A and B are shown apart, each in its own frame.
Chain A
Amino acid sequence: MINALSRYTILFTLTLLVLAVLSFALIYLFPGDPLTNLTGLVPQNDIQREALIRQFKLDQSYPIQFYHYLQQLFLGNWGYSFISGQPLREEIGIAMPATFELSTYAMVMALLIGVPVGCYAGLKSYTVSDYAINTASIFSYSFPVFWLALIFIMLFSLEAGIAPLSGRISLLFEIPNVTGFILIDILLAKNINHGLALIDAARHLVLPTMAIGLISTAAMIRITRRSVIDVMNSPFITAARSRGLSNRQIFMRHILRNALLAILPLMAIQVTTLITNAMIVETLFSWPGIGNWLINAINQRDYPALRIGVLAVSTMVITLTVLIDILNRLIDPSREKFERGTI
């Protein structure tokens, strides 16, 4: 196991290194001045420019530049947003948790609803309820998330007026950003009406979470159902049954376990989809997350922000996938090689 872990660590570092190289290359690939792309600073005159170039070692060879770049990344000097002039680390520090929070809730929703429903459909495979669930899930799964979100907005916000359509919380609340997770930050905040704020935040959360969550839930149902059916049809379940184990025992000890083990690697893909969907939905719900931030950055041609943002998100996603991968390996002894499947 330690062997595998160290292998993972090496490969993971390697991947991050590749990402770092790519993001470093972006300095030169993006249009405009490499210096600005790197730092987000616009030198006012040539003297300042020279000084900055020397400071960021842009006059040195590429490897040295890259080394310096890595160093700065580690030290947390990620440069400044070209547009707002804020340190990028701060901006990402606010935007990233927002996306993460949204995805987490959607994921929790997908797991809490998707897995039991998927199990149910799998156990009742080829019955009416299974067909109904399956049809519903393939429908939900086919929604383009942006359209679904629009429909939600029209139905629930504009027509029914149940839930607000933008932001994380009414702007009247002033919630200091501590953890980046709004619900936690509300609890940490002082001088506000916590109950009111929590309700308000929850109402803001409902629609975006639903929009992302519905698609992920549908995917989860389909994965779980498939996996449960596969496990149920496998000979070892027949064998267990003929050993006289009770249905409950079989389900809890054998079906569930093996089905979930098969689901886990697929979750890695789901995480990617989920975060992509979260990023798209953010732009519709004005959720102050990383997706919204990146889209704004591209509209504003804020190259330093783009570079760091892309690096940050891909690092996050890859870290998550690798973690799931390792988890999978830890708890699933039987899988020799981790294979990704499909829904």
Chain B
Amino acid sequence: MPILDIKNLTLEMETGGTRVKALDRVNLSINSGEIRALVGESGSGKSLIVSAISGALPPQWHITADRMTWKGENLLSMRADERREIMRRDIAVVFQHPIAAMDPSTTLGEQLEESIPNELVEGKLFWQRKQSRRRTAIGLVHKVGIKNHEHYLNAFPHQISSDIGQKFMIAMALVSQPDLLIADDPTRGMETTTKTKVLKLLARLNQTKSLSILFVSHDLLAIASMAHTMTVLYCGQTVESGQMKHIRKRPLHPYTKALLDSAPSFRNDLPPKSYLPTLDGTIPTLQHVPIGCRLGPRCPRAQKQCVVTPAVRKVHDHTYSCHFPLHMDKL
């Protein structure tokens, strides 16, 4: 039983006078204790999914789904305060742009302390509670690998660099001891050492606290090192989803393959300075998505049928949507 289960999530919005489907029948489910990676190119709609789950979408956007449940409860039909309660207790989100996601007029410490749920604060009197909050905050900051807590807790968002910001966002997300952590590109721009530390922290939390994680990124290296399962998104459509190791070994969708191939780290057979395999072109803008399979024009295996949206197919727990999948002949 997945804790988060999304089926056929469609998101429509108005841009430039036309109504476009930014997300087109996206499926995503996360099991308890699982680290799921959500991969896709920039603009493929990853952050939109995150927003849809956290309920942070503008009201004028149309969001429909066959199913969108949290532990069996329907998120879409829920009252605002119930949903807020879930967000406060169970789900934590790390947004993509950490500095922008922090109140510019409040110190980091205050914001962090504010996020600590009341039930986790010890003491009755307000100064005791205050101290308790401070202690918790310092502990958290250390946990995510910030040493100089004095300096950073009293700093304002504009004074810190974005990697510190990301760490703070993670700390803020972890403070409420959630069941699910949604991390939108938490390691962007970090150098490798710090990145590894953060990833290790997440992995450890996953193991010790059985924290489920939805890990959004296009850093395949990071994903490959920690995720159990992976969902690949292209242009608002889920193209493939399944166990990490299966996908790595045998990607079924041409796009997934192209994605994996483009990371030189995955390929020990690649001679230095050789051309990397890649798909032609770039992701289309939302106003000009091709009909049917949205990869169509770029796909090396595209044929006539591709103008029809491919149905979701399933092999064991490996789902894909493609008319002409790879490796299928071998199966």
Contacts and interface: CB of A to CB of B under 8 A. Distances in A.
Tell me if chain B binds chain A. Answer: yes
A249 B51 CA distance: 20
B54 interface: yes
B239 interface: no
Contact of B56 (A242, A246, A249): A242
A236 B100 contact: yes
Contacts of B89: 244
Given A234-B100, A245-B114, A334 B105 contact: yes
B95 A243 contact: no
A258 B156 CA distance: 13
Contacts of A332: 105
A261 interface: yes
A235 interface: yes
A246 B84 contact: yes
Given A236-B104, A333-B105, A334-B104, A243 B158 contact: no
A5 to B, nearest CB: 19
A249 B88 CA distance: 13
Interface in B98-132: 100-106, 114-115
Contacts of B97: 235
Given A235-B97, A334-B156, A242 B55 contact: yes
Given A243-B88, A257-B106, A334-B156, A238 B114 contact: no
A243 B105 contact: no
Given A236-B103, A236-B104, A261-B105, A241 B56 contact: yes
| Band of interface residues on B | 20 to 34
A244 B100 contact: no
B66 interface: no
Contacts of B156: 333-334
Contacts of A249: 114
A257 B95 CA distance: 22
B75 to A, nearest CB: 13
Given A333-B156, A334-B157, A258 B56 contact: no
Given A235-B95, A236-B103, A261-B105, A243 B115 contact: yes
A243 B174 CA distance: 11
Interface in A81-134: none
A328 to B, nearest CB: 12
Nearest to A261: B105
Interface string B135-167: 000000000000000000000111000000000
Contacts, number: 74
Contact of A253 (B56, B81, B84, B106): B106
A251 to B, nearest CB: 13
Interface residues of A, number: 22
B93 interface: yes
A24 B265 CA distance: 76
Contacts of B54: 241-242
A258 B114 contact: no
B104 A253 contact: no
B173 to A, nearest CB: 8
Interface in B47-97: 51, 54-56, 81, 84-89, 91-93, 95, 97
A245 B121 CA distance: 16
**Chain A interface SS verdict (over half):** helix
B172 interface: yes
A336 B158 contact: yes
B88 A258 contact: no
B256 interface: no
A235 to B, nearest CB: 4
B176 interface: yes
Given A235-B97, A253-B114, A334-B158, A242 B87 contact: yes
B137 to A, nearest CB: 14
B93 to A, nearest CB: 5
A242 to B, nearest CB: 4
A21 B89 CA distance: 65
Contacts of A236: 100-104
A231 B193 CA distance: 35
Nearest to A255: B103
B219 to A, nearest CB: 21
A154 interface: no
A330 interface: no
Contact of B176 (A235, A241, A244, A246): A244
A297 B194 CA distance: 72
B55 A258 contact: no
Contact of A245 (B88, B101, B158): B88
A228 B115 CA distance: 22
A258 B51 contact: no
Contacts of B176: 243-244
Interface string B185-221: 0000000000000000000000000000000000000
A254 interface: yes
Nearest to A237: B103
Interface in A149-167: none
B103 A244 contact: no
A244 B88 contact: yes
24 contacts: A234-B100, A235-B95, A235-B101, A236-B101, A236-B102, A238-B51, A238-B56, A241-B54, A241-B84, A242-B55, A242-B87, A243-B87, A243-B92, A243-B115, A243-B176, A244-B89, A244-B176, A249-B114, A253-B106, A254-B106, A258-B104, A333-B105, A334-B105, A334-B157
Given A238-B56, A246-B84, 18 more contacts: A236-B100, A236-B102, A239-B95, A240-B103, A241-B54, A241-B84, A241-B87, A242-B55, A243-B87, A243-B176, A244-B88, A244-B176, A245-B88, A245-B115, A253-B103, A253-B106, A257-B103, A334-B104
Interface of A: 234-236, 238-246, 249, 253-254, 257-258, 261, 332-334, 336
The 5 residue pairs across chains A and B that have the minimum distance between CB atoms: A244-B88, A239-B101, A242-B54, A334-B104, A244-B87
